[in-house]
Structure 1
Amino acid sequence: MGSSCSARFDKGKEGTNVRFLKIATALDPRFKNRKCLPKSERDENSMVLSAAIFITLIGLIVYLHFVKIDHESLLVIGSLGIQMTSSYASGKENTTFIEMSQVKDVVINEAIYMQKVIYYLCILLQDPGEPHGVSEVVPLFQSSKPRLDCLVEVYQSCQEILEQRKT
Protein backbone atom coordinates (compact mmCIF):
# COMPACT_ATOMS: atom_id res chain seq x y z
CA MET A 1 0.00 0.00 0.00
CA GLY A 2 2.86 2.37 0.82
CA SER A 3 4.50 1.84 -2.56
CA SER A 4 1.30 2.65 -4.50
CA CYS A 5 0.92 5.91 -2.57
CA SER A 6 4.55 6.79 -3.30
CA ALA A 7 4.07 5.91 -6.97
CA ARG A 8 1.01 8.17 -7.23
CA PHE A 9 2.93 11.00 -5.56
CA ASP A 10 5.85 10.63 -7.97
CA LYS A 11 3.47 10.48 -10.95
CA GLY A 12 1.73 13.71 -9.84
CA LYS A 13 5.09 15.39 -9.27
CA GLU A 14 6.16 14.84 -12.92
CA GLY A 15 3.75 17.38 -14.43
CA THR A 16 4.34 20.04 -11.76
CA ASN A 17 6.22 23.27 -12.30
CA VAL A 18 8.52 22.96 -9.28
CA ARG A 19 10.22 26.32 -9.80
CA PHE A 20 6.86 28.11 -9.74
CA LEU A 21 5.90 26.25 -6.55
CA LYS A 22 9.17 27.31 -4.90
CA ILE A 23 8.53 30.96 -5.78
CA ALA A 24 4.94 30.70 -4.52
CA THR A 25 6.22 29.11 -1.30
CA ALA A 26 8.68 31.96 -0.81
CA LEU A 27 5.84 34.49 -1.22
CA ASP A 28 3.43 32.73 1.13
CA PRO A 29 3.60 34.43 4.56
CA ARG A 30 2.89 31.13 6.30
CA PHE A 31 6.34 29.88 5.20
CA LYS A 32 8.34 32.99 6.20
CA ASN A 33 9.57 31.53 9.48
CA ARG A 34 10.10 28.06 8.11
CA LYS A 35 13.27 27.58 6.19
CA CYS A 36 11.75 25.17 3.67
CA LEU A 37 14.05 26.37 0.88
CA PRO A 38 17.84 26.43 1.01
CA LYS A 39 19.43 29.92 1.11
CA SER A 40 20.69 29.67 -2.48
CA GLU A 41 17.17 29.00 -3.77
CA ARG A 42 15.73 31.81 -1.61
CA ASP A 43 18.25 34.22 -3.14
CA GLU A 44 17.35 33.03 -6.64
CA ASN A 45 13.66 33.49 -5.90
CA SER A 46 14.35 36.99 -4.57
CA MET A 47 16.14 37.88 -7.80
CA VAL A 48 13.27 36.56 -9.93
CA LEU A 49 10.71 38.48 -7.88
CA SER A 50 12.81 41.67 -7.97
CA ALA A 51 13.10 41.41 -11.76
CA ALA A 52 9.34 40.87 -12.09
CA ILE A 53 8.60 43.93 -9.94
CA PHE A 54 11.13 46.03 -11.89
CA ILE A 55 9.62 45.02 -15.26
CA THR A 56 6.13 45.78 -13.96
CA LEU A 57 7.20 49.26 -12.83
CA ILE A 58 8.87 49.98 -16.19
CA GLY A 59 5.68 48.85 -17.95
CA LEU A 60 3.57 51.14 -15.77
CA ILE A 61 5.83 54.12 -16.50
CA VAL A 62 5.70 53.44 -20.25
CA TYR A 63 1.91 53.10 -20.08
CA LEU A 64 1.52 56.41 -18.21
CA HIS A 65 3.95 58.24 -20.48
CA PHE A 66 2.86 57.03 -23.92
CA VAL A 67 -0.65 55.55 -23.63
CA LYS A 68 -2.82 56.97 -20.82
CA ILE A 69 -4.35 60.26 -22.01
CA ASP A 70 -5.54 62.42 -19.13
CA HIS A 71 -7.48 65.01 -21.13
CA GLU A 72 -7.95 66.35 -24.65
CA SER A 73 -8.66 69.90 -25.79
CA LEU A 74 -9.67 71.64 -28.99
CA LEU A 75 -8.89 75.27 -29.79
CA VAL A 76 -10.52 76.78 -32.88
CA ILE A 77 -9.35 80.19 -34.11
CA GLY A 78 -11.23 81.25 -37.23
CA SER A 79 -8.38 83.18 -38.85
CA LEU A 80 -5.64 80.63 -38.08
CA GLY A 81 -6.82 77.07 -37.66
CA ILE A 82 -7.62 74.25 -35.27
CA GLN A 83 -5.28 73.04 -32.53
CA MET A 84 -5.82 69.63 -30.92
CA THR A 85 -3.94 68.85 -27.69
CA SER A 86 -3.73 65.53 -25.84
CA SER A 87 -2.27 65.61 -22.32
CA TYR A 88 -0.93 62.34 -20.96
CA ALA A 89 -1.01 61.25 -17.31
CA SER A 90 2.74 61.82 -17.09
CA GLY A 91 2.36 65.49 -18.08
CA LYS A 92 3.55 65.03 -21.65
CA GLU A 93 1.50 66.88 -24.26
CA ASN A 94 0.96 66.10 -27.94
CA THR A 95 -0.27 69.01 -30.06
CA THR A 96 -1.48 68.94 -33.66
CA PHE A 97 -2.37 72.03 -35.69
CA ILE A 98 -4.48 72.15 -38.85
CA GLU A 99 -4.55 75.35 -40.89
CA MET A 100 -8.02 76.76 -41.51
CA SER A 101 -7.39 76.76 -45.28
CA GLN A 102 -7.25 72.94 -45.12
CA VAL A 103 -10.50 72.57 -43.15
CA LYS A 104 -13.57 71.79 -45.23
CA ASP A 105 -16.01 71.09 -42.39
CA VAL A 106 -16.48 69.72 -38.88
CA VAL A 107 -19.02 66.90 -38.55
CA ILE A 108 -20.39 64.45 -36.00
CA ASN A 109 -19.94 60.93 -37.28
CA GLU A 110 -21.31 57.68 -35.93
CA ALA A 111 -19.91 54.19 -35.81
CA ILE A 112 -20.95 50.81 -34.50
CA TYR A 113 -18.51 49.53 -31.91
CA MET A 114 -18.99 46.44 -29.75
CA GLN A 115 -22.77 46.27 -30.31
CA LYS A 116 -23.43 49.94 -29.62
CA VAL A 117 -23.45 53.15 -31.61
CA ILE A 118 -20.79 55.70 -30.68
CA TYR A 119 -20.57 59.27 -31.90
CA TYR A 120 -17.39 61.19 -32.54
CA LEU A 121 -16.40 64.58 -33.86
CA CYS A 122 -14.37 64.74 -37.08
CA ILE A 123 -12.59 67.38 -39.11
CA LEU A 124 -12.93 66.95 -42.87
CA LEU A 125 -9.84 68.17 -44.74
CA GLN A 126 -10.16 69.59 -48.25
CA ASP A 127 -8.61 67.74 -51.14
CA PRO A 128 -6.22 70.23 -52.83
CA GLY A 129 -6.81 68.64 -56.24
CA GLU A 130 -10.58 68.56 -56.05
CA PRO A 131 -12.38 71.48 -54.32
CA HIS A 132 -15.51 69.47 -53.45
CA GLY A 133 -13.59 66.38 -52.30
CA VAL A 134 -12.35 65.30 -48.89
CA SER A 135 -8.74 64.20 -48.61
CA GLU A 136 -8.74 63.06 -45.00
CA VAL A 137 -11.02 62.60 -41.97
CA VAL A 138 -9.38 63.53 -38.65
CA PRO A 139 -11.23 62.18 -35.59
CA LEU A 140 -11.23 64.27 -32.40
CA PHE A 141 -11.47 63.25 -28.73
CA GLN A 142 -10.51 59.64 -29.45
CA SER A 143 -9.64 58.65 -25.89
CA SER A 144 -12.18 60.67 -23.91
CA LYS A 145 -15.20 59.63 -26.02
CA PRO A 146 -17.60 62.38 -24.86
CA ARG A 147 -21.37 61.86 -24.92
CA LEU A 148 -23.45 63.08 -27.85
CA ASP A 149 -24.81 66.15 -26.02
CA CYS A 150 -21.24 67.34 -25.33
CA LEU A 151 -20.26 66.70 -28.94
CA VAL A 152 -23.27 68.73 -30.16
CA GLU A 153 -22.13 71.74 -28.09
CA VAL A 154 -18.59 71.57 -29.48
CA TYR A 155 -19.96 70.99 -32.99
CA GLN A 156 -22.22 74.06 -32.80
CA SER A 157 -19.36 76.25 -31.56
CA CYS A 158 -17.12 75.02 -34.39
CA GLN A 159 -19.85 75.65 -36.97
CA GLU A 160 -20.31 79.23 -35.70
CA ILE A 161 -16.59 79.89 -36.16
CA LEU A 162 -16.54 78.24 -39.61
CA GLU A 163 -19.54 80.32 -40.71
CA GLN A 164 -17.80 83.52 -39.61
CA ARG A 165 -14.79 82.52 -41.67
CA LYS A 166 -16.89 82.08 -44.82
CA THR A 167 -18.47 85.54 -44.57
Structure 2
Amino acid sequence: MDKQNMDDIAKNYHVCRKFESLKCFQIEAHVYSHSNFIQIKLFKTSSFKNSLLSLYNVIMFGIICLVCNFIHPMSLQLKILLVFTLTSILTLFILNFIIIEESLEIIRSIKGVNYYTKNMLGKETSKFIGSTNFVINEAITMFRVISYLAVLACESNQLTSSKQVNLIFTKMLPRNDCLEFIYTHIHHFLNQN
Protein backbone atom coordinates (compact mmCIF):
# COMPACT_ATOMS: atom_id res chain seq x y z
CA MET A 1 0.00 0.00 0.00
CA ASP A 2 1.20 3.47 -0.77
CA LYS A 3 1.30 6.36 1.68
CA GLN A 4 -1.87 8.01 0.31
CA ASN A 5 -3.97 4.87 0.94
CA MET A 6 -2.56 4.55 4.46
CA ASP A 7 -3.47 8.19 5.20
CA ASP A 8 -7.03 7.65 3.88
CA ILE A 9 -7.49 4.59 6.11
CA ALA A 10 -6.26 6.56 9.13
CA LYS A 11 -8.74 9.39 8.37
CA ASN A 12 -11.77 7.13 7.91
CA TYR A 13 -13.03 5.58 11.13
CA HIS A 14 -16.07 4.84 13.29
CA VAL A 15 -15.97 5.03 17.09
CA CYS A 16 -18.76 4.13 19.50
CA ARG A 17 -18.82 4.72 23.27
CA LYS A 18 -21.47 4.64 25.98
CA PHE A 19 -21.95 7.48 28.46
CA GLU A 20 -24.46 8.63 31.04
CA SER A 21 -26.56 11.74 30.65
CA LEU A 22 -27.21 14.40 33.28
CA LYS A 23 -30.82 13.18 33.13
CA CYS A 24 -29.63 9.72 34.34
CA PHE A 25 -30.16 7.70 31.18
CA GLN A 26 -27.62 5.91 29.01
CA ILE A 27 -26.55 7.51 25.76
CA GLU A 28 -24.44 6.08 22.98
CA ALA A 29 -22.07 8.37 21.06
CA HIS A 30 -21.14 7.39 17.50
CA VAL A 31 -18.42 9.22 15.58
CA TYR A 32 -18.23 8.61 11.83
CA SER A 33 -15.18 10.34 10.39
CA HIS A 34 -14.16 10.59 6.77
CA SER A 35 -11.56 12.75 5.09
CA ASN A 36 -14.24 15.26 3.96
CA PHE A 37 -16.82 15.13 6.77
CA ILE A 38 -17.48 14.03 10.33
CA GLN A 39 -20.82 12.99 11.79
CA ILE A 40 -21.50 12.63 15.51
CA LYS A 41 -24.71 11.02 16.76
CA LEU A 42 -26.04 10.65 20.29
CA PHE A 43 -28.74 8.00 20.90
CA LYS A 44 -30.75 7.21 24.00
CA THR A 45 -30.11 3.54 24.73
CA SER A 46 -31.66 2.85 28.12
CA SER A 47 -35.12 1.44 28.61
CA PHE A 48 -35.84 4.07 31.26
CA LYS A 49 -37.85 6.12 28.75
CA ASN A 50 -40.03 3.10 27.92
CA SER A 51 -40.82 2.37 31.56
CA LEU A 52 -41.52 6.06 32.17
CA LEU A 53 -43.84 6.15 29.17
CA SER A 54 -45.67 3.03 30.37
CA LEU A 55 -46.11 4.58 33.82
CA TYR A 56 -47.39 7.76 32.17
CA ASN A 57 -49.96 5.75 30.15
CA VAL A 58 -51.22 3.92 33.24
CA ILE A 59 -51.60 7.15 35.21
CA MET A 60 -53.34 8.95 32.35
CA PHE A 61 -55.64 5.98 31.77
CA GLY A 62 -56.60 5.97 35.46
CA ILE A 63 -57.27 9.71 35.55
CA ILE A 64 -59.39 9.60 32.42
CA CYS A 65 -61.34 6.61 33.81
CA LEU A 66 -62.06 8.54 37.01
CA VAL A 67 -63.27 11.54 35.04
CA CYS A 68 -65.49 9.34 32.84
CA ASN A 69 -67.07 7.66 35.89
CA PHE A 70 -68.49 11.02 36.91
CA ILE A 71 -70.27 11.31 33.56
CA HIS A 72 -73.30 9.07 34.24
CA PRO A 73 -75.47 9.31 31.13
CA MET A 74 -72.74 7.82 28.95
CA SER A 75 -72.77 4.12 28.01
CA LEU A 76 -69.86 1.85 28.93
CA GLN A 77 -68.74 1.43 25.30
CA LEU A 78 -68.69 5.20 24.81
CA LYS A 79 -66.70 5.67 28.03
CA ILE A 80 -64.13 3.08 26.90
CA LEU A 81 -63.86 4.75 23.50
CA LEU A 82 -63.43 8.17 25.11
CA VAL A 83 -60.75 6.91 27.52
CA PHE A 84 -58.83 5.17 24.71
CA THR A 85 -59.03 8.21 22.41
CA LEU A 86 -57.93 10.72 25.05
CA THR A 87 -55.07 8.51 26.24
CA SER A 88 -53.86 8.02 22.66
CA ILE A 89 -53.97 11.74 21.88
CA LEU A 90 -52.10 12.65 25.07
CA THR A 91 -49.49 9.94 24.43
CA LEU A 92 -48.84 11.20 20.88
CA PHE A 93 -48.57 14.74 22.22
CA ILE A 94 -45.96 13.68 24.79
CA LEU A 95 -44.02 11.52 22.28
CA ASN A 96 -43.64 14.58 20.06
CA PHE A 97 -41.44 16.22 22.73
CA ILE A 98 -39.22 13.24 23.65
CA ILE A 99 -35.97 13.50 21.68
CA ILE A 100 -34.22 10.16 21.09
CA GLU A 101 -31.39 11.23 18.78
CA GLU A 102 -29.24 14.31 18.29
CA SER A 103 -26.52 14.57 15.69
CA LEU A 104 -24.22 17.01 14.00
CA GLU A 105 -22.36 16.94 10.72
CA ILE A 106 -19.40 19.01 9.67
CA ILE A 107 -18.43 19.07 6.00
CA ARG A 108 -14.96 20.44 5.42
CA SER A 109 -15.78 22.40 2.25
CA ILE A 110 -18.89 24.12 3.67
CA LYS A 111 -17.35 25.57 6.86
CA GLY A 112 -20.49 25.06 8.90
CA VAL A 113 -22.40 22.63 11.11
CA ASN A 114 -25.67 20.81 10.42
CA TYR A 115 -27.43 19.99 13.70
CA TYR A 116 -30.29 17.44 13.71
CA THR A 117 -32.77 16.22 16.32
CA LYS A 118 -35.19 13.31 16.03
CA ASN A 119 -38.15 12.63 18.32
CA MET A 120 -39.85 9.34 19.21
CA LEU A 121 -42.39 9.76 16.40
CA GLY A 122 -39.58 9.98 13.83
CA LYS A 123 -39.92 13.71 13.13
CA GLU A 124 -36.56 15.30 12.33
CA THR A 125 -35.60 18.94 12.65
CA SER A 126 -32.39 20.47 11.38
CA LYS A 127 -30.48 23.69 11.81
CA PHE A 128 -27.46 25.01 9.92
CA ILE A 129 -24.87 27.02 11.86
CA GLY A 130 -22.37 28.88 9.70
CA SER A 131 -19.34 28.40 11.92
CA THR A 132 -17.00 25.70 13.18
CA ASN A 133 -15.79 27.40 16.36
CA PHE A 134 -16.58 24.86 19.11
CA VAL A 135 -16.23 25.42 22.84
CA ILE A 136 -17.12 23.48 25.96
CA ASN A 137 -18.53 25.89 28.49
CA GLU A 138 -20.27 25.70 31.86
CA ALA A 139 -23.57 27.10 33.05
CA ILE A 140 -24.49 27.53 36.70
CA THR A 141 -28.04 26.62 37.66
CA MET A 142 -29.68 26.71 41.06
CA PHE A 143 -27.96 23.62 42.46
CA ARG A 144 -25.40 22.40 39.93
CA VAL A 145 -22.93 23.28 37.22
CA ILE A 146 -23.77 21.97 33.74
CA SER A 147 -21.22 21.61 30.94
CA TYR A 148 -22.40 22.12 27.39
CA LEU A 149 -21.02 22.14 23.86
CA ALA A 150 -21.56 25.34 21.87
CA VAL A 151 -20.78 26.72 18.44
CA LEU A 152 -19.78 30.37 18.33
CA ALA A 153 -21.02 32.19 15.23
CA CYS A 154 -19.87 35.73 14.48
CA GLU A 155 -22.24 38.02 12.64
CA SER A 156 -20.93 41.34 11.45
CA ASN A 157 -22.13 44.13 9.25
CA GLN A 158 -20.97 47.68 8.70
CA LEU A 159 -22.40 49.05 11.96
CA THR A 160 -22.11 46.26 14.51
CA SER A 161 -20.62 42.86 15.10
CA SER A 162 -22.03 40.27 17.47
CA LYS A 163 -21.34 36.72 18.56
CA GLN A 164 -24.12 34.20 18.74
CA VAL A 165 -23.83 31.10 20.95
CA ASN A 166 -25.58 28.02 19.53
CA LEU A 167 -25.95 25.19 22.04
CA ILE A 168 -25.50 21.64 20.77
CA PHE A 169 -26.85 18.42 22.35
CA THR A 170 -29.20 20.30 24.70
CA LYS A 171 -31.89 17.59 24.81
CA MET A 172 -29.59 14.71 25.79
CA LEU A 173 -27.46 16.78 28.20
CA PRO A 174 -24.35 14.59 28.03
CA ARG A 175 -21.89 14.78 30.90
CA ASN A 176 -18.49 16.39 30.64
CA ASP A 177 -16.65 13.16 29.69
CA CYS A 178 -18.93 12.70 26.68
CA LEU A 179 -18.51 16.35 25.65
CA GLU A 180 -14.72 16.00 25.83
CA PHE A 181 -14.91 12.83 23.71
CA ILE A 182 -16.97 14.68 21.08
CA TYR A 183 -14.83 17.81 21.19
CA THR A 184 -11.62 15.79 20.76
CA HIS A 185 -12.91 14.17 17.56
CA ILE A 186 -14.22 17.47 16.18
CA HIS A 187 -10.96 19.25 16.97
CA HIS A 188 -8.92 16.45 15.40
CA PHE A 189 -11.08 16.56 12.23
CA LEU A 190 -10.94 20.36 11.89
CA ASN A 191 -7.15 20.48 12.34
CA GLN A 192 -6.32 17.79 9.77
CA ASN A 193 -4.51 18.97 6.63
Normalising to structure 1: TM-score of the pair?
0.62
| Equivalent of 1:145 in 149, 160, 173 | 173
Q: Which residue of 51, 57, 82 maps to 2:88? A: 57
Q: Superposed, which structure 2 residues align to 1:112-131 within 5 Å?
A: 112-129=140-157
Q: CA deviation at 1:48?
A: 4.6
Counterpart of 1:71 in structure 2 is 101
Rate the CA distance shift 1:146–1:128 in 2: closer, same or farther, 3 A.
same
Given that 1:76 and 1:161 are in contact with CA atoms closer than 8 Å, whether structure 2 keeps it comes out as: no
Residue 86 in 1 paired to residue 114 in 2? no
Q: Whose radius of gyration is greater, 1 or 2?
A: 1
Question: How far did 1:127 drift?
Answer: 1.6
Percent identity over the alignment? 30
Matched, 1:43 2:89: no
Match of 2:69 among 18, 23, 31: 23
Q: Aligned partners of 1:21, 1:89: CA distance in 2, in Å? A: 28
- 1:103 matches 2:131: yes
Q: Distance in 2 between matches of 1:136 and 1:22?
A: 50
Task: Report Cα offsets for 1:120-162 as digits up to 9, x if no partner.
Answer: 10011112228xx543111000111111011012112223344
Matched residues in 1 for 2:123 and 2:136: separation?
28
Corresponding residue SS for 1:103: coil
Q: Deviations over 1:81-132 (max 9, x none)?
A: 211111111112112222xxx31611111112341111110011112228xx
Counterparts in 2 of 1:156 and 1:49: CA distance versus 1, 3 Å: same
Please, which runs of 5 or more residues in structure 1 have no aligned partner? Answer: 1-19, 27-40
Q: CA deviation at 1:46?
A: 5.4
Structure with greater helix share of residues: 1
Call closer, same or farther: CA 1:48–1:112 in 2, change over 3 Å.
Answer: farther
Deviations, residues 4-47 of structure 1 (Å, cap 9, x unaligned): xxxxxxxxxxxxxxxx69927x9xxxxxxxxxxxxxx4635654
One-letter code aligned to 2:122? G
Whole-angstrom distance in 1 between the partners of 2:104 and 2:177: 16
Deviation, structure 1 residue 79: 1.7
SS at match of 2:128: strand
Alpha-carbon separation, structure 2, partners of 1:22 and 1:138: 46
1 or 2, which has the higher strand percentage? 2
Question: One-letter code of the match for 1:69?
Answer: I
Count of equivalent residues: 125
Shift of 1:67: 0.6
Structure 1 runs (4+) greater than 6 angstroms displaced: none
